[in-house]
A and B are shown apart, each in its own frame.
Chain A
């Protein structure tokens, strides 16, 4: 098994080395998420793998950037040096990865980014539209509160772009549509569940009237739920998460979490993989600008969560 894989890689390389790119029969695709240890990035990987399953001539390798932009850049270099044919990348930071993406593209390796776009044009960006989804969550929260109330935000670490975009969308919507909703607190819970509990506890202490909480990922939303439940205030507070991982959807069904901005991550990964294959096989030509492919967010609440099929839950 491993041997055949190695052989395939060797042939692929020999072919690349001989410079007959068009006659290429096998491809290597690299998948480089910000970290391998997240439900979302795992789901993307599964989506990519599924999309490539029936293509015998394609191998896929994923690497772990450990949430550090420096490491991700190194790994980009490695993919480039190893002559990968396409790279699916979730940039930890737009600015930090721009140079790497540019380098890959200049060597003829198309880069398809996930969720975070970089600053210079590349093949495509398959994005769940963080800002738009944040906006959508705020609209839902605003509607359910009747345009009035106190809201707190569980933030991502400062500088984590995805989280910031979500929060910006959320804030923009409130400012524009629900000026009477007050944001009473915003604290960094480091994407973590245990920090989510800790921060939520202090929100609950400071605000005797807290009507809704928006956590910029589901993990923190689940933490907020545990804290609110423990304080006996779960019924009074609407908790919104982001991403729509399986466990959160289950909690929405139980009525413990109000809702989340669900994206079909399997689908999203699949789309990225398909786009890469289309470019490699020549079915699609690369344009001058980055092609933005938006995966629409879906507001999963108790009423709508049933629409998400079991096989689409990640």
Chain B
């Protein structure tokens, strides 16, 4: 095992370590925490963010960002419902077509960023806005309850071996995404484009094509998350999943992926999502006011970032204190 692999492993392992530490602390704080039921529930509740994260991670890997995942998820739930319950299509066909629309949305995002050279931040921010409008328009702003088909509803709430199906979907997608990133030509190309686009291009990578695929992957996983969400909540609603894009980015960043491009860890993103899930679950179990959730998440982001930067936490605190001391002495 070579040095950087060790380092990578240590970063991943460190995340695992923090995760375990959180689990230990939480199990002391609440005796209800460390139960199979509860842990299953946490996974169940993070699966939407998890599914989105393992696909959206490619955008930061190539140095971009995708802020439109929330709106895509909401829209896809609505589209799937319209196809099934207005046009009466078979549920599988409906899902298939919805995924196709996801591909289209991702393609548009990718095309605008690459061919028109507009920063991904602006493109996907605008997409977030107009896709929300489209979702409103298609659903007429209604909060639609999806009562059937029953097979569709099983996706979200059904269980296999006592574990909800969305968790399987999340894990399958995560494994797939991990393999895609670490063991395929496309993964190598995405990392290369993020590390140095020009150099990648001169080495035979087509950066535009890579980027377009990246946004398609991101949109497709968001679509899958949207379908799972629609099934899980038995609801299609334009305001579903608003603000999820920030949770997704949080998970990705806690997982050690830099927004500058050139590296990324799917397992990290998944752990990041679960970590945020643990924080929320812990606060819920303790019956803390909801105002603590964003505070705790924000602090975890900062701590994770500082640690990913190679600072140990006590070291960082010491550094800060030292700085204050010098500032004092200068006065």
A-side residues, CB < 8 A to B, are 35-39, 42, 64, 155, 157-158, 185-188, 190, 192-194, 197-199, 201-202, 205-206, 219, 222-223, 226, 229-231, 245-247, 250
Contact = CB atoms under 8 A, between A and B. Distances in A.
Contacts of A199: 284
Contacts, number: 92
11 contacts: A37-B143, A37-B237, A42-B140, A155-B290, A157-B290, A201-B38, A205-B41, A222-B145, A222-B234, A223-B233, A250-B145
Nearest to B235: A193
Contact of A230 (B30, B164, B235): B164
Interface string B152-169: 000001010000100000
Interface string B233-248: 1110111110000000
A114 to B, nearest CB: 17
B48 interface: yes
Given A198-B280, A202-B284, A223-B233, A158 B141 contact: no
A221 to B, nearest CB: 12
Given A194-B229, A226-B232, A37 B141 contact: yes
B188 interface: no
Nearest to B164: A230
Contacts of B280: 198
A129 to B, nearest CB: 23
Contacts of B37: 205, 231
B290 A194 contact: no
A35 B234 CA distance: 21
Q: Residue among B136, B232, B291 with the most chain A CB within 10 A?
A: B232
Contact of A205 (B32, B145, B147, B289): B32
A158 B30 CA distance: 25
B99 to A, nearest CB: 21
Interface residues of B, number: 37
A135 to B, nearest CB: 24
A303 to B, nearest CB: 22
B287 A226 contact: no
A91 B291 CA distance: 23
Nearest to B158: A230
Q: Residue among B141, B280, B281 with the most chain A CB within 10 A?
A: B141
Nearest to B293: A188
A205 B233 CA distance: 20
A71 B280 CA distance: 30
A206 B30 contact: yes
B329 interface: no
A197 B233 contact: yes
B291 A186 contact: no
A206 B285 contact: yes
Contacts of A185: 287
A206 B35 CA distance: 11
Given A38-B143, A219-B143, A187 B290 contact: yes
Q: Residue among B32, B136, B159 with the most chain A CB within 10 A?
A: B32
A305 B141 CA distance: 26
B143 A194 contact: no
A138 B44 CA distance: 31
Contacts of A194: 48, 229, 232-233, 240-241
B151 interface: no
A110 to B, nearest CB: 26
Contacts of A193: 233-235, 237, 240
A185 B287 CA distance: 6
B157 A187 contact: no
Given A158-B290, A185-B287, A206-B287, A230 B157 contact: yes
B159 to A, nearest CB: 8
Interface in B272-293: 280-281, 284-285, 287, 289-291
A282 B324 CA distance: 71
Contacts of A186: 287
